[in-house]
Amino acid sequence: MTTASLSRRRLVTGLAAAPLVGLPISTRAASLSTVEADFLALAPKLVPMLDEYDRLMEAAGLLYEAAMKVMPAHPWSRMEASPGWQAYLEARRPADALDDRIEALVEPFFDAPFGSLDAILLRHRYGMSFEAWEDHALRDLGRLWGRPCA
């Protein structure tokens, strides 16, 4: 199991347990910081972009797997010129362009600590696509619980 899978599993397990132990977690913080409010304002635009990125990368991933199946039979220099590899690279172009747009949106919030469950979950949603920020989300969640999450 990958570290990303474990992080997601721990976050989901923690969220499921929260109501059982009566933790003071509110999905709507009474007073959000400006940074957190600005990040949450991205959600209607960001989530569809992440969904589209995931769809594009899934399709590109299938082409990558197909191209790699013939890799042992060809030296890398010929592999790069192969039709399968070129199809993969072509499929990656829209995903890479979308990645750049997404990164430009979220980069200002990378190190911001969040205190609302909504912002933490949005940060985690980003992490599900890019295997980044999951540890940040767990750290934020740990602050809400009053103890570290790892």
Instruction: Check residue 146 and give left, alpha or beta (phi > 0: left; psi -120 to 50: alpha).
Output: left
- pLDDT tens-digit map of 109-135: 988 988 888 998 999 899 899 887 778
Q: How many CB atoms lie within 10 A of CB 68?
A: 13
Cα–Cα distance, 86 to 146 (Å, whole number): 50
Determine the pLDDT at residue 18: 47
How many Å apart are CA 139 and CA 52, to the nearest integer? 27
Q: Is the pTM of this model over 0.75?
A: no
Whether the CB-CB separation of 71 and 79 falls below 8 Å is answered with yes
**pLDDT at res. 108:** 95
